[in-house]
A = this chain, B = another copy of it.
Amino acid sequence: MSADDLLPAERKVLETLGDRQLDFRAMWAISNLFRSAAAVRRHMEGKVLATERVSWTGFVALWVLWVWGELGANAFAEAVGISRPTATGVLRTLDARGWIARRADPDDGRSVLVSLTPAGRTTIEHLFPRFNAEETAIAGTLGERDQDRLASLLRSLSRSVQDRDGS
């Protein structure tokens, strides 16, 4: 890999820190992870989610409930990837929009079960195909093999972090 392939920000890093004892190989991998994730997220928020005035987290929340069905608030928070206090706030917002419903768990007085309302289901079923179409457009510039390779490498990274966290 020649330095010509580096992004401008990366070349600036080399210019400033190039003489330090740092693992630039790992740095390029991880920093580009965040750079590309932020770029894709921004793109999706602007091109897909803005049309329905849905936040990123709100979208993920609807998606999770669509895929998993009714969930306890705790499991919901974990699946969405947010803390429990944050989940409380997000569910309040989605509730105000009429997209989710909460009911007491008949088997556990502490637990609250969360699910999509018909309106919420309609929203995610309308939104997700358009989201997926953008995924296709963005990832499509890589070949099919490279999309698979990328997904595989990222799964390895997730598992690596999980191991290091001491799951």
Contact = CB atoms under 8 A, between A and B. Distances in A.
Copies in the complex: 2
Interface string A62-92: 0000111000000000010100000000000
11 contacts: A16-B67, A25-B144, A25-B148, A29-B148, A29-B151, A30-B139, A34-B37, A36-B157, A40-B161, A46-B165, A141-B159
A122 interface: no
Contacts of A160: 138-139, 141-142
Interface of chain A, main secondary structure:
helix
A37 B39 CA distance: 12
B81 A129 contact: no
Given A17-B67, A68-B12, A153-B153, A161 B27 contact: no
Contact of A23 (B37, B40, B132): B132
Contact of A26 (B17, B128, B136): B136
A138 B159 CA distance: 9
A53 interface: no
